[in-house]
Chains A and B, each alone.
Chain A
Amino acid sequence: MSEVVVSRIHSQSADQYLCGADEPGSIIQVKQFSYSAVFYDNSNDNIERDMPGVLGDGSMFIECEAGNRILVECNMQLGQEDTWRSIFFRVYWNGGMNRAPGGVRNSGGNGANTTSITNSARPDDNLLYAGGSGHNYNANNNGMLHTANWSVLTPPVINNGAVNFRMTEVGHDNGNTLHLNQNNVTNSTSNENDNQVASTVILKEVYYP
């Protein structure tokens, strides 16, 4: 592999900054983790539960250098049936310092938090200030979809290697039930993904000096 060791690169014509050792912001890499199946969970009324598949099993990861940060973008596709739905999401990582307090976690002993992510060199399974939420409302109709999108920049990763992420979901006490990726263009409660949506987490490693 050909490499250049340099403190700063400018464009020749306009002498404009391109990248440098002292400036944060270069995107080193981009990874995506996607879940497109329809997933239903009606046991989440004020109970924190793992998200399905790759979103919740701790296998989302990105190999990072120490000191860099990770721009986490979440795209969650929230379906609906019957009435209103309000779902909240949390994001955990094992990349470094804990930025969010534990908060209230009503595990209820009901299958919540079955997964954890560990790394012998870092704090395990830390909650990030990276939560999000989505809301659908309709009375007596079905098949709505609300796409919730949010991004957060993590604290610096404290040492080299894979940084893992996982997500959990909590339903509102009165309007729970997650219908992930479920959407129907008609008034239907069938488990269809008519419009080919996917819930994704996109990870970007961002260079920091």
Chain B
Amino acid sequence: MSTVIANAVLRPADDKVILRKSGCIVQSAQYEYSSVYEDLNNNNLIDMPGDLGNGNATITPYFGDSKILFTGLIHCGHQTTWRTNFFRTFYRINSGSWTQFYGGFGSNLYSGTNSMSQTIKCSYLVSPSYSAGNSIGFKIQHIGHANGGHLHLNQINLSNSTANNNVINAHSKIYLQEVAQ
């Protein structure tokens, strides 16, 4: 393997920075969930299904002082009336305890028919304290509003239907980027 050791890459002639260790994005990872998932309990705080909530969404930074740019993207479906869903975001180091961070987000849908859908996305730059070689895991928890908090994750129909279809193949995701410091 050919390796050049440097903190910055400059272009010839005027030394303008093309790439710099401090601030560049050195790796990214994406975790997805594509099935239709429903939680028909209001005010029920639960881990999101699959890789969105089971701790599998991880990144192992190359450096011991990087920040992680977390992006959550959720496709919220809808049935019958209004729906408001809240999403809480957490990280942990290796298999340690979960720490909540200010990356939460929410969706709001209102209609008397079925199958509306709203895609929501939120990013947050997290500064965890960890050591080189540690794995940093992320998860999303869901809680619905007390009066209209049913979750219809990835449920998308093109007609007035409550069927558990995802007709446009939308995937809800966690997207992670290591930002070197």
Which A residues form the contact surface with B (CB < 8 A)? Answer: 1-7, 9, 12-13, 19-21, 26-32, 34, 36, 65, 67, 73, 75, 77, 80, 135-138, 141, 143-147, 149, 183-187, 194-198, 200, 202, 205, 207, 209
Chain B 102-113 interface mask (CB, 8 Å, partner A; 1/0):
111111101000
Contact of A145 with B121 in the complex, beta carbons under 8 Å: no
Q: Min CB distance, B54 to chain A, in Å?
A: 20
State A144–B145 Cα separation when bound (angstroms): 8
Whether A6 contacts B12 in the complex (CB less than 8 A), given A138-B84, A143-B84, A146-B107, comes out as yes
Q: Min CB distance, A196 to chain B, in Å?
A: 5
State A151–B161 Cα separation when bound (angstroms): 33
The 4 tightest CB contacts between A and B, nearest first, are A29-B23, A145-B106, A21-B11, A198-B102
Whether A30 contacts B105 in the complex (CB less than 8 A), given A4-B9, A65-B17, A141-B147, comes out as no
State A145–B24 Cα separation when bound (angstroms): 33
Contact of A20 with B22 in the complex, beta carbons under 8 Å: no
**Minimum CB distance partner of B88 in chain A:** A195
Whether A195 contacts B108 in the complex (CB less than 8 A), given A12-B2, A20-B18, A28-B24, comes out as no
Contact of A207 with B19 in the complex, beta carbons under 8 Å: yes
Contact of A77 with B106 in the complex, beta carbons under 8 Å: yes
Q: Which residues of A contact B123 (CB under 8 A)?
A: 73, 75, 149, 200, 202
Q: Min CB distance, B112 to chain A, in Å?
A: 11
State A69–B179 Cα separation when bound (angstroms): 18
Q: Min CB distance, B102 to chain A, in Å?
A: 4
Which among A5, A12, A149, A195 is the interface contact of B11 at CB below 8 angstroms?
A5
**Minimum CB distance partner of A22 in chain B:** B11
Interface residues of B in 85-144 (CB under 8 A from A): 86-89, 100-108, 110, 120-125, 143-144
* CB<8 Å pairs between A and B, sample of 21: A2-B7, A3-B6, A4-B4, A19-B18, A26-B18, A26-B24, A28-B19, A28-B24, A30-B125, A65-B16, A73-B123, A75-B124, A77-B106, A136-B108, A141-B145, A146-B120, A185-B144, A185-B149, A196-B104, A197-B106, A198-B104
Which among B6, B108, B179 is the interface contact of A137 at CB below 8 angstroms?
B108
B5 in contact (CB, < 8 A):
yes
Contact of B86 with A5 in the complex, beta carbons under 8 Å: no
Contact of A196 with B102 in the complex, beta carbons under 8 Å: yes
B166 in contact (CB, < 8 A):
no
**Minimum CB distance partner of B177 in chain A:** A30
4 extra interchain contacts, Cβ-Cβ under 8 A, other than A141-B145, A186-B43?
A4-B6, A12-B1, A141-B148, A205-B23
Q: Min CB distance, B77 to chain A, in Å?
A: 16
Q: Min CB distance, A170 to chain B, in Å?
A: 20
Contact of A202 with B69 in the complex, beta carbons under 8 Å: yes
Contact of B121 with A28 in the complex, beta carbons under 8 Å: no
Q: Which residues of B contact A186 (CB under 8 A)?
A: 43, 145-147
State A21–B12 Cα separation when bound (angstroms): 8
State A40–B174 Cα separation when bound (angstroms): 30
Q: Which residues of B contact A136 (CB under 8 A)?
A: 108
Contact of B107 with A143 in the complex, beta carbons under 8 Å: no
Which among A29, A135, A147, A196 is the interface contact of B20 at CB below 8 angstroms?
A29
Q: Which residues of B contact A27 (CB under 8 A)?
A: 23-25
Contact of B143 with A9 in the complex, beta carbons under 8 Å: no
Q: Min CB distance, B181 to chain A, in Å?
A: 10
Q: Which residues of A contact B120 (CB under 8 A)?
A: 146-147, 149
Q: Which residues of B contact A141 (CB under 8 A)?
A: 82, 145, 147-148
Whether A5 contacts B125 in the complex (CB less than 8 A), given A29-B22, A145-B84, comes out as no
Q: Which residues of B contact A9 (CB under 8 A)?
A: 4, 9
